[in-house]
Amino acid sequence: MSGRVGVLVMAHGTPAAPAEIAAFYTRIRRGRPPTLEQLEELEGRYAAIGGVSPLAERSRAQVEALRSALDDRAPGRYEVAFGAKHTDPLIEQAAVTLAATGVDRIVGLVLTPHGSSLGSAEYLERARAALSLPVAFVEVPPWFGAPALVALLAERVAQAASGLADRGTPGRLTVIFTAHSLPERVRETGDTYPEQLEESARLVAQAAGLPSWRVAWQSAGRTPEPWLGPDVREVVRRLAASGEADAVVVCPIGFVADHLEVLYDLDVELAGVAAACGMPYARTASLNDDPRFIAVLAEAVVSADRSDP
């Protein structure tokens, strides 16, 4: 390896203030403004978690921590920048600015452990399209199977289960691993996103020694087409109705930070479903900028860098 390397860290992005929610929603809808009802619903979800999502702050902390970790490993080699899918700085802006610093190539890292044609691939394609020769672009492949990540998530599961036990929850515990749902049509293209989720859940369940676990999906879009299921809310309802479990721990294995899909969809909406079913419920703590998680990201970047001498 020689020369300086850019690292483009990419995440979803989130509005920085309530006044920005309408523009953010319009961008997500590819330029189509939401109806008043849709906007009010989304604003209500943000209000329920404090007005705005902490994702922007969490992403900044992750990028800063990654910058420091990479500099510790190879002082002066890596120039780290951040680009978002839906908020400024956009992926394209960040990629061009990073290339202008004179790096020999750019390593693209999406802050999601699983890969999908409708997920991380869109981020990577946008970054690649914004760049021009002679700057090469190297993609970090899905990193859900990193042993250090598996071990860290297994610990988070054990901690959440222990918390339920401390509350006096008796009986059988089921752990549900979740990720963001995508339209069912991803299966028609040979996309392995569903299989990646199953495999990452299996790895963590095995590491944690879980007697009972399953996979479910969450946060499906509100469109007419079918989305990947089963939905985690229905899974919790079925577990309660069948008596298969006395308590559930949900591990949002497809997410790496606190944001709306975790703090509202799970901590508010799913927690409400569990309470209505009389099902004790706990969620694993988000990874955020935990140093052990940042070490996983740093290793993924360095490995991709080494693969492209």
CA dist., res. 220 & res. 139, Å (int): 27
Q: Judge whether residue 2 has pLDDT over 70.
A: no
CATH 3.40.50.1400 domain extents, the chain: 5-143+289-306, 147-283
Per-residue pLDDT, 132:
78
Q: Half-sphere exposure of 244 toward its Cβ, with a 13 Å CA cutoff?
A: 15
pLDDT of residue 309: 61
Q: What is the pLDDT of residues 43-53, one digit of tens each?
A: 999 999 999 99
Q: Which of 266, 229, 11, 230 is nearest to 119 (CA)?
A: 11
Q: Residue 247 and residue 182: Cα distance in Å, rounded?
A: 27
CA–CA distance from 293 to each of 66, 141, 146 (Å)?
A: 10, 16, 10
Domain 147-283 falls in which CATH fold?
Answer: Rossmann fold (3.40.50)
- pLDDT value at residue 154: 98
Distance in Å from the first CA to the final CA of the chain = 5
In the predicted structure, residue 1 carries a pLDDT above the cut 60: no
5-143+289-306: in CATH 3.20.20.70 = no
pLDDT at 11 over 70: yes
100-149: pLDDT as tens digits: 999 999 999 999 999 999 999 999 999 999 997 778 999 999 999 999 99
Q: Which residues contact 226 (CB under 8 A, 6 or more apart)?
A: 183, 184
Would you call 275 exposed, middle or buried from its count of C-beta atoms within 10 A (0-12, 13-18, 19+)? Answer: exposed
Predicted model pTM: 0.95
Whether the link from the prior residue into 89 is cis, omega within 30° of 0, is yes
Q: What pLDDT band is residue 169 in, cutting at 50, 70 and 90? A: confident
Q: Give residue 134's pLDDT.
A: 78
pLDDT of 151-161, one tens digit each? 999 999 999 99
Which tens digit of pLDDT belongs to each residue from 243-271? 999 999 999 999 999 999 999 999 999 99
List residues bridging with 227 in a β-sheet: 183
Distance CA 104, CA 123 (A): 21
pLDDT tens sequence across 205-235? 999 999 999 999 999 988 889 999 999 999 9
Identify the residue whose tokens are 């979800």: 45
Write down the pLDDT at residue 126.
96
Contact (CB, 8 A) for 286 and 49 = no
